[in-house]
Amino acid sequence: MVKSTIIARVADGLPLAASMDDEQAESELAGYKSQAKAIFKKLNAHSEAMCSIESGPYFLHYLVDQGVCYLCICERGFPRKLAFSYLDELSREFYMSYGGEVEKGSLRPYAFIKFDTFIQKTRRIYEDSRTQQNLSKLNEDLRDVTQIMTKNMEDLLWRGDSLDRMNTMSDSLRSESEKYRKDAWKLRVQGLVMKYGIQATIGLVFVVMLYLLFRVF
Amino acid sequence: MQDGAAVPAAASRRRLYPDQIASAYSSQRPPPPPQGPQNAPQGYPAAPHGGADAAAGQGGFFVPGAAQAPVPAPGVPGAVSPGGYGYPAAAAAAAAAAAAAQQPSIAPQPGYPAQQVDGLAQQMSQMGLGPGQHEFQNIALSGRPPVAALDEAPPAIRLPPGTACVPSPHVLCPANVKRCTLNAIPRTDKLLKKTKLPFGLLVTPLKSPEAGEAPVPVAPDIVRCRRCRTYINPFVQFVEGGRRWKCNLCNLHNDVPLSFDYDTLTQTQRNRWERPDLNCSVVEYAAPVEYMVRPPMPPVYVFVIDVSYAAVQIGAPGVVAQTILSALDRIPNADGRTKVAFVGVDSSLHFFQVRPGGAEPQQFVVSDLDDVFLPSPTDLLLNLHECREGIECLLARFESMFRTNHSVGNALCPAIKACQRMLGNLGGKIVVLQASLPTVGEGKVDPRPEGKDLGTPRESELLRPQNAWYKTLAADCSRAQIAFDTVFIGQQPMDVATVSCLARYTGGSVFHYPSFMAGRKPEVDRFSYEFARHIAADVGLEAVLRLRASKGLRMTAYYGNFFLRSLDLLALPSVTPNHGYAVDMEIEEALTAPVVYFQTALLHTTTQGERRIRVATLAVPTTENIHTVFHNADQIAIASLLSKKAVDRALVAKLEDAREALQHKTLEIIGAFKTECTQSSSGATTQLQLPRALQLLPQLTLACLKHTSLRAGNNTPVAARMAAINLVLTLPPEQGLQPYIVPRLYALHDLPPQAGHPDEQTGITVLPPRLGLSAEALAPHGVFLLHAGHDSFLWFGRGASPALCRALLNQPDVGAIPSGVITFPDLSGGADAPAEGFELNFRVTRILRRLNELCHGLWRPVTFVCKEDGEPVIRLMLAQRLVEDMDAAAPSYQQFLGQLRDKINRGSF
């Protein structure tokens, strides 16, 4: 079943509405809610419009429509088809009620919290995946959920980080290798000096003396 | 003291030159100032209009950065256009300068030369305020207390000019939002100890605007000090040409955000001096996401209604259900999210389920009280909007459902446990309507016989909770944002002291209706009005209140209904507009600044589902002069703080101790004033003297001592005392001290022509002159009105004329008027003009309405008709409220003064 629902604006991740979760599970979900917030921060206009993200015992499904992201946290066993059908229903109703106001600049957080009533109502319809209505929804091929990407939370949250890390590592590797090359050259010169320095000096002195001798005499 | 003498040292620290400021706006170059702003004393930098003006008008005089900006045409808004969207630093500086130039110039004030405290007299004469001796006037205490002074405003707060960065009329914090007991604060703890005056604050954090008042302004974005997290307020100073602001609490320099002068959304200039948070001392902010741990919660009300035999006998369940039914439309429900639930309690629990849209409520009875469970996982908490039909049906049938209930016993505690589970993490308000003792289940309470303990030291034991169950539960609930209101109905023993702990630690309210009976119409009307008003009030939910004060000051104790989460943070799951909080302050280290500041911030969710922060900043000048401290004390605030401290002490120590402490404090203050500020500093005196600002202190103390909450003697039931203690503890001074502790007395047979009619200018009903609270004032030929907030009395003299009785109550003569409780009849039928022959009734109705308005409509008092030779019970009740008279346990005003004088003359206090 759907555990929690959050609706946010894609442009800046501002939460617009959320379900009040009156279950004791709220504390369990806290971590996943902050993951959801992290997802909102990462979203932009070029992100996938629909995606399922696996995280621990839950699935986070989201749907982006008209600049608004609808995200729900579901149990693992909850059919994806139903979850997306639920989000779709929310998005249609939300767009109808508040579509025009979403892009306003001076919106306060949770400005459309009254949408919660509708969320609760819809959630109840989808509560049990085995009701006749929901079964028929499952059977109708409303949506080809197989094409929706499934990602892993770990990957999603850390992928950007690892690319960054790779970048900095290669950068540091390059600068360090340059430093090594310089050092190696210096070392080689030093070694030559140590090896042939005395002989060369003596030779040089000898040559100079010879030269002086020949000049004088 | 109403003049500049209060703050001589502060006034001396001037560095604003009005001429210079004014000329900065004209096109003429100002004459060079006598001393540059650089010479401003350390720790008191130039105000923005000083500094930035100099930069704008004199080119490079003050801050090079600002000077490089093009000088804007004076007074032309937006003369400088910022360089595109990129907003380079130069443009920022230009914008700052332009913004500074836009500020309306301060009206030229009389010169404030740099002067020291010695220049006091000179300053006063310069300000044209006369010799100022009137303000230092001492009043000799004798005879009757000066009741007229009760309605006087507190001594004005005299801030040194330039304290506020914008000359706005709203920078002074209204006294009904926040007031300090001392309007001139001593600089050192030693001086404070010498005066013996209590130092504290009285805060009404969610004060709702009164009729005719503008709503609290909303500021656009939150700006706070980096270090002490103070919100920006009218008393900060702008430095470095207006690019930084200096926090007035910790003196840290903070960057001014770009949004102050430039609106990136619309790409236009902004005038920072128009920001509400720089103009008003009380502002609200819409909280951004960072201030929310979860989405704003909806208003939730759970009504736990006693339906046991004791309650049914007095008809409580029916009246309660009817009241809720009639108030359903007034319960805040802007979003359609409001939830309600109903639980009936006798020796088992009755839950009611309504399916959304369904009309038939379903009842579940749970009688397993050891391990209480919810009979249904859903639909017990009903959406008020969706289940309206079902709720109406349930409430309409509620009375008949339990009419024949003979179940004795009340399982309140299991019911609360179940509600706690029902509200889970959502939070909300549980309204407990109790008419009998909770006798079943875990937190059950044993009946405590009080009869023979009243008036003895053992009475204090009865004021303490019987067990810790309620306090522990309240603390748990406070964490889950659950608040309790406890309503006690009827005369059955209910152990108010124990059960009211629920409200005490969750920011809730306590109501007590001892003489309630479904057949008594005035009582039912009063209950319905007050209860409906309470559940319909615009409360703040899941709130926290934080107090900050200038360096050197420390909060030591708090009084009111709350749960203290950390030293300066009060957790209030629910906060109502008529709850006040008192704070004890302490001077930790000597104050050096001329002005100190107190800031309270209340983070709360409104019933409209908005998260808001209400910030109130109070500025109070400091002084080193003991006279100034005494003459600027706020006696109403002092008495209010002392009464709160006294009842708090009564709850933890003995009643006798509380009375002793209160009396001793008064004695100390008068003694300190005598030794420090009068000629007869040592040796005996025939007449006590007090400063004008404290002239009412003995009377207020006496009224507190005689009030139901602290009264000695054996005729105050414990339940009434507990309810009174709770009201004294929670009400702000505007309701709590007057009229609740000090009632108002008026002569109705002798109304001045204007009284009872609206004032020509303000439209507010004019009140007749107040009389002293003494039986001496009650003339036998007259009719008098005594208004004590939650009840009022009409006193009829033996010789009151029949014409008077007819005009007032439509009765032929005094004998025909029924003695007892009535609702004051409006014989004009609510019309705007008096009915023929009932002009007096019309005027008195208006006066009563105005008096109730003064209490913010908190109560709808029943009227006791008391005849001079009528029922002794009512006469006794009235006599208890005439605080200047002697009664069995306490002296009269004159005797009290005599006692105080003797003790002071003996020096034995």
Return residues 153-182 of A near B (CB < 8 Å).
none
What mean pLDDT is predicted for residues B560-569? 91
In contact, B312 and B439? CB cutoff 8 Å: no
Residues from chain A that touch B426, judged by Cβ atoms under 8 A, are 20, 22
Among A181-190, B87-96, B508-517, B568-577, the range scoring the smallest mean pLDDT is B87-96
Return residues 93-132 of A near B (CB < 8 Å).
105-106, 108-110, 113-114, 116-117, 120-121, 124
Q: Which residue has the higher pLDDT, A155 or A117?
A: A117
* Residue B684 φ then ψ, to 5°: -80, 155
Structure confidence at residue A142 as a pLDDT band (50, 70, 90): low
Show the domains of chain A with their CATH numbers. 2-147 (3.30.450.50)
- The number of C-alpha atoms within 13 Å of B544 and in the hemisphere containing its C-beta is 13
Note the pLDDT of residue B9.
Answer: 40
According to DSSP, residue B738 is labeled I
Structure confidence at residue B785 as a pLDDT band (50, 70, 90): very high
Residues from chain A that touch B385, judged by Cβ atoms under 8 A, are 117
| Residue B2 pLDDT > 50 | no
| Nearest Cα to Cα of residue B745 among B702, B781, B776, B706 | B776
What mean pLDDT is predicted for residues B774-796? 91
Amino acid at B822: I
Note the pLDDT of residue B834.
Answer: 82
Residue-wise pLDDT for B139-160, tens only, equals: 888 878 888 888 888 888 989 9
C-alpha separations of A216 from A203, A204, A205, A206, A207 in Å = 20, 18, 16, 15, 14
- The number of C-alpha atoms within 13 Å of B71 and in the hemisphere containing its C-beta is 17
Burial of B58 (0-12, 13-18, 19+ CB in 10 A): middle
- Report how far residue B187's alpha carbon sits from residue B596's, in angstroms, rounded to the nearest whole number: 10
Structure tokens at B36: 């540059």
Residue in chain A nearest B381 by alpha carbon: A22
Among A39-53, A123-137, B150-164, the range scoring the smallest mean pLDDT is A123-137
Residue-wise pLDDT for B391-403, tens only, equals: 999 999 999 999 9
- Report how far residue A18's alpha carbon sits from residue B643's, in angstroms, rounded to the nearest whole number: 45
Structure tokens at B559: 């009084």
Note the pLDDT of residue B314.
Answer: 94
Residue-wise pLDDT for B33-80, tens only, equals: 444 333 333 333 333 443 333 333 333 333 333 333 333 333 333 333
| Nearest Cα to Cα of residue B47 among B245, B192, B218 | B245
* Residue B69 φ then ψ, to 5°: -70, 145
Structure confidence at residue A138 as a pLDDT band (50, 70, 90): low
Return residues 9-48 of A near B (CB < 8 Å).
14-15, 17-24, 26-27
| Cα B189 versus chain centre, distance | 27
Q: Which residue has the higher pLDDT, B516 or B78?
A: B516
- Radius of gyration (C-alpha) of chain B in whole angstroms: 30
Structure tokens at B4: 């500049």
Structure confidence at residue B162 as a pLDDT band (50, 70, 90): confident
Cβ–Cβ gap B386/A18 under 8 Å: no
Structure confidence at residue B908 as a pLDDT band (50, 70, 90): low
| Residue B679 pLDDT > 80 | no
> Considering CB atoms only, which of A108, A116, A124 is closest to B286?
A108
| Nearest Cα to Cα of residue B580 among B792, B858, B315 | B858
> Considering CB atoms only, which of B337, B378, B424 is closest to A117?
B337
Peptide bond into B45 cis (omega under 30): no
Note the pLDDT of residue B752.
Answer: 92
- Report how far residue B183's alpha carbon sits from residue B122's, in angstroms, rounded to the nearest whole number: 23
Note the pLDDT of residue B599.
Answer: 96
The DSSP result for A127-153, as a single string, is S-TTSHHHHHHHHS----GGGSEEEEH
Structure confidence at residue B734 as a pLDDT band (50, 70, 90): confident
Q: Please, what is the average pLDDT of chain B?
A: 83
Residues from chain A that touch B336, judged by Cβ atoms under 8 A, are 114, 117
Cβ–Cβ gap B423/A15 under 8 Å: no
Name the maximum alpha-carbon separation found in chain A. Answer: 122
Highest mean pLDDT (candidates A105-109, A135-139, B173-177): B173-177
**How many CB atoms sit inside 10 A of residue A155's CB?**
12
Note the pLDDT of residue B140.
Answer: 86
| Cα B351 versus chain centre, distance | 37
User: What percent of chain B has pLDDT above 70?
Assistant: 85
What mean pLDDT is predicted for residues B797-812? 89
- Report how far residue B659's alpha carbon sits from residue B662's, in angstroms, rounded to the nearest whole number: 5
- Report how far residue A15's alpha carbon sits from residue A69's, in angstroms, rounded to the nearest whole number: 9
Distance from CA of A25 to the nearest CA of B (A): 9
- Report how far residue B372's alpha carbon sits from residue B416's, in angstroms, rounded to the nearest whole number: 10
Residues from chain B that touch A19, judged by Cβ atoms under 8 A, are 295
Please give the interface size between A and B, counted as residue pairs whose CB atoms are below 8 Å apart.
69
Number of residues that make up chain B: 909
- Report how far residue A196's alpha carbon sits from residue A194's, in angstroms, rounded to the nearest whole number: 6
Residues from chain A that touch B290, judged by Cβ atoms under 8 A, are none
Distance from CA of B397 to the nearest CA of A (A): 27
Structure tokens at B333: 């429900």
In contact, B163 and B595? CB cutoff 8 Å: yes
Structure confidence at residue A144 as a pLDDT band (50, 70, 90): low
Structure confidence at residue A141 as a pLDDT band (50, 70, 90): low
Structure confidence at residue A50 as a pLDDT band (50, 70, 90): confident
Q: Which residue has the higher pLDDT, B601 or B27?
A: B601
Structure confidence at residue B137 as a pLDDT band (50, 70, 90): confident
Return residues 355-384 of B near A (CB < 8 Å).
356, 378, 381, 383
> Considering CB atoms only, which of A19, A113, A124 is closest to B609?
A113
Q: Which residue has the higher pLDDT, B253 or B137?
A: B253
| Residue B818 pLDDT > 90 | no
Distance from CA of B386 to the nearest CA of A (A): 9
Note the pLDDT of residue B305.
Answer: 96
| Residue B665 pLDDT > 50 | yes
Residue in chain B nearest A22 by alpha carbon: B426
- Report how far residue B9's alpha carbon sits from residue B40's, in angstroms, rounded to the nearest whole number: 15
Among A152-161, B727-736, B764-773, B779-788, the range scoring the smallest mean pLDDT is A152-161
Structure tokens at B704: 């507190």
Q: What is the ipTM of this complex?
A: 0.71
Structure confidence at residue A79 as a pLDDT band (50, 70, 90): confident
Among A12-16, A136-140, B187-191, B330-334, the range scoring the smallest mean pLDDT is A136-140
Structure tokens at B115: 């002067």
> Considering CB atoms only, which of A15, A20, A21 is closest to B298?
A20
